[in-house]
Amino acid sequence: MVSIKDLANLTGYSVATISRVVNNSPMVSEKARAEIEEAIRATGYHPNFIGRSLRLSFSMKLLLLLPTAENTFYGDILRGIEQSASAAGYQVVIGVTQNKLEIEKKYIEMLTSRQVDGMIIANTNMDKFDLSRISESFPIVLLAHSMDGANVSSVTIDNLAAAYDATKLLIDLGHTSIGMLSGRYYRNPSIEREEGFKNALKDAGLPLNPSHLIRTDYDFNSGKLACKKLMSGKAPPTAIFCVADSIAIGAERYLLDSGLENVVSVIGFDNVIESEYFYNGITTVNQPKYDLGKVSVDLLLKIISDKSAPPETVVLPHYLVERGSTSKAR
Amino acid sequence: MVSIKDLANLTGYSVATISRVVNNSPMVSEKARAEIEEAIRATGYHPNFIGRSLRLSFSMKLLLLLPTAENTFYGDILRGIEQSASAAGYQVVIGVTQNKLEIEKKYIEMLTSRQVDGMIIANTNMDKFDLSRISESFPIVLLAHSMDGANVSSVTIDNLAAAYDATKLLIDLGHTSIGMLSGRYYRNPSIEREEGFKNALKDAGLPLNPSHLIRTDYDFNSGKLACKKLMSGKAPPTAIFCVADSIAIGAERYLLDSGLENVVSVIGFDNVIESEYFYNGITTVNQPKYDLGKVSVDLLLKIISDKSAPPETVVLPHYLVERGSTSKAR
DNA sequence: TTCCGAAATGTAAACGTTTTCATTTGTTTC
DNA sequence: GAAACAAATGAAAACGTTTACATTTCGGAA
């Protein structure tokens, strides 16, 4: 592989001058520049980024940690992230953890071993202690969720309020028996959304039947099964708040298959593209996905440039999107 | 940041011995190992991967280039890729190009600048010349598509045959007026699928109405609009072959909205999860997504370990999945 | 011509590793 | 106690950059 040293030997200039040409420094004569550029072309030289990173001690790379690549929720987020990152000259690399702590730790090493300058975490299996410790030494930002008691920056919506609003919509439609399909892992943002759900019921003076709260995985099939379980109980609810659109779609699918789609209302969360086109549409809570991504990067870059800045939480607005999956109780 | 040198000063051992401990070399006394490990714990030392990469001249990282992060098609693929890669001790980083050549080139630099050891490309805007040139010097594999005339390895299904089979299914159902929604960018795999489509029509002695072939983007809304256009012509087809499930779902949505779902059959391509649950299901061509990913990595690693190996094309089997979106012509 | 200042170029160290080769230390054998 | 050998350790170079500082070159002014 041809290096700066080879170009130096080839052209008779020193490595310093070659480096200056490569980096467009003005301090080099036209003659030298021309000769060296010609040599670069002739040899097919490419600067070695590893050598550069080592010398400069930063990589201009950001790591985005995703639990899965199968959720369209992250598509828009990623666009926002890439927009902000590339505007600042950073490259984004993505790591998918499959929700496994061990894979997550592998990726964290990219941070600790200086392969990336900072990290955005979309979902973590670590606890608040791990997270706080990492955040002390390295720039990280939590995306679309937060962690109680952890000393770490995050960009999120107000999940509690959003879940409250969603549940309130069902209540306002006249429903009095309302169930919830929540996340299997008992952590944010599921915790907060359960909280908002329960608060809304309480404020309306409605009871929560314990068997009406089921925890499941964030995918279509799990949602379908969980809904089946919910509806097979002895006093099934007439409305269901789902912690994610993927679950809501699974639930609606079950209802459609059972001919219950007009009897039972379903509301989801996230406003992913499928919720728009599935059947008559899934009513849902919109998260500002693009902005969540964009703001995360902005915050991360701020932390990178000022390591001593205290952790900060940014809350972005949410809103309800009413579609065909919700209707008046009858 | 604490380095091996700091540990050397701290413990009194040389950097060589520290390095040996870090890398679990057996050539180090129990005493030294214990002392050094203690120092590592105390200082919170993490090996710097950049320094290591520079010295070793490989990064143990693979780059996966995706056109978008919004297609669930890539979820399974990624799982296959990660499975094979991590089994071999490699890490996978993902770059999303948004289908923009300039972003793609940025990521290609990660290869040429030695930040990754090899690259899997799921979709490219480069031409066969670019691709052949890169493939000459760096390990790359094309995933789920190939490029005619390019001297580059690829792992794919037989797109021509698959499209032929899909079209044949419609023909066997008695349809004689068949349209196609293809990809906007006239390149593989759209080209091959159009070819298979046309061949099937020809073999059945059916004419292709030129206005029945529409090229559009790979997403829901584009599919919906394209279908509308297709059905608004003066002699609309009774069956539609779509180059991707995302398009097929958009098309089926339009048909549902127009009350045509029982009149017009739709077949998609890829067998993504949504095609299973959308309405009565979308008939489609299954691609072995997990295996496509797995085999890509295996092939890439082979190329990495033997740079002089000639490019190779691996063809994996496909099959049809019949669901509710197709029915007998009437 | 000589001198001066600016512009161009070069030297060498540094970033954090790994590893070859040399050296030291420790153990065994006579 | 010396010789022989194995085990443990260390010194130093190398990977490919960038850059502070030193040196050379070049015009122009005196």
The encoded tokens of residue B248 equal 């097929």
pLDDT digits (tens, 9 = 90+) for A124-164: 999 999 999 999 999 999 999 999 899 999 999 999 999 99
Give Cα A248 to chain centroid, integer Å.
Answer: 19
Structure tokens at B144: 């789920």
pTM for the full model? 0.91
Q: Report whether pLDDT(B69) > 90.
A: no
Residue written as tokens 């969360």? Answer: A269
Q: Are A110 and B98 inside 8 Å of each other by CB? A: no
B254 touches chain A (CB under 8 A): no
CA angle A227, A228, A231 (to 5 degrees): 85
**Mean pLDDT value across chain B:** 94
The pLDDT of A256-271, averaged and rounded, is 96
Distance CA B158, CA B316 (A): 7
State how far residue B173 is from chain A, nearest Cα, in angstroms: 26
Nearest-angstrom CA–CA distance, B20 and B47: 12
**Is B330 a residue whose pLDDT tops 90?**
no
**Region B23-32 average pLDDT:** 93
Question: Which 54-113 residues of chain A touch chain B by CB within 8 A?
Answer: 54, 59, 68-72, 74-76, 78-79, 82, 86, 91-96, 98, 103, 106-107, 109-110, 112-113
State residue B283 phi and psi, 5-degree precision.
Answer: -65, 140
Interacting residues of A100 by C-beta distance below 8 A, sequence separation 6+: A125
Q: Where are the beta strands (DSSP E) in chain B?
A: 61-66, 91-96, 118-121, 140-143, 153-157, 178-183, 213-216, 239-242, 265-267, 284-286, 313-316, 319-321
Give the pLDDT mean for A258-272: 96
Residue B15 has pLDDT above 70, yes or no: yes
The residues, any chain, with a CB within 8 Å of residue A11's CB and separated by 6 or more, are A18, A35, A36, A39
pLDDT > 70? residue B63: yes
Chain centroid to CA B145 = 8
How does residue A318 score in pLDDT terms, banded at 50, 70 and 90? very high
Q: Which residue is nearest to nucleotide C14 (CA to C1')?
A: A55
Q: Could you report the per-residue pLDDT of B260-302, keeping only the tens digit for each?
A: 999 999 999 999 999 998 999 999 999 999 999 999 999 999 9
What is the structure's pLDDT at A186?
A: 67
Closest residue to B50, CB basis, from A47, A53, A70: A53
Residue B229 identity:
K
Which member of B71, B94, B277 has the closest CB to residue A94?
B94
Contact assignment for A70 to B72 by CB distance below 8 Å? yes
Residue B16 pLDDT > 90: yes
Please state the φ and ψ torsions of residue B262, each to the nearest 5 degrees. -95, -5
Q: What is the pLDDT at residue B186? A: 66
Average pLDDT (B9-22) is 96
Select from B304, B300, B268 the least CA-distant residue to B287.
B268
> A10 beta carbon < 7 A from strand C?
no
Spatial separation of the C-alpha atoms in residues A312 and A139, rounded to whole Å: 12
Q: Enumerate the residues of chain A whose CB falls inside 8 A of the CB of residue B279.
A: 279
Chain A / chain B CB contacts < 8 angstroms: 121
Q: Closest Cα partner for A268 from A315, A202, A218?
A: A218
Q: A115, B69: Cβ pair inside 8 Å?
A: no
- Per-residue pLDDT, averaged over A277-298, amounts to 96
Confidence band of B324 (pLDDT split at 50, 70, 90)? very high
Whether the beta carbon of B20 falls within 7 A of nucleic chain D: the reply is yes
Beta A313-316 vs A284-286: how paired, if at all?
unpaired
Residue B28, nucleotide of least CA–C1' distance: D8
Pick A75's closest partner by Cβ from B47, B48, B68: B68
Over residues B65-80, mean pLDDT: 90
C10: residue with closest CA to C1': A14
User: Can you tell me the distance from the alpha carbon of A328 to that of B186, in angstroms, rounded to the nearest whole number?
Assistant: 48
- Looking at the predicted structure, is the pLDDT value of residue B185 above 90? no
- Please answer whether residues B226 and B251 qualify as being in contact, where contact means their C-beta atoms are separated by less than 8 angstroms: yes
A47 touches strand D (CB under 7 A): yes
The alpha carbon of residue A68 is apart from the nearest alpha carbon of chain B, in Å, by: 7
Contact A267, A241 (CB under 8 A): yes
Q: Give per-residue pLDDT as tens, B233-250.
A: 989 999 999 999 999 999
Q: In 10 A of CB A98, how many CB atoms?
A: 15
B36: nt with nearest C1' to CA: D9
> For A254-266, what is the mean pLDDT?
95
Cα–Cα distance, A50 to A58 (Å, whole number): 10
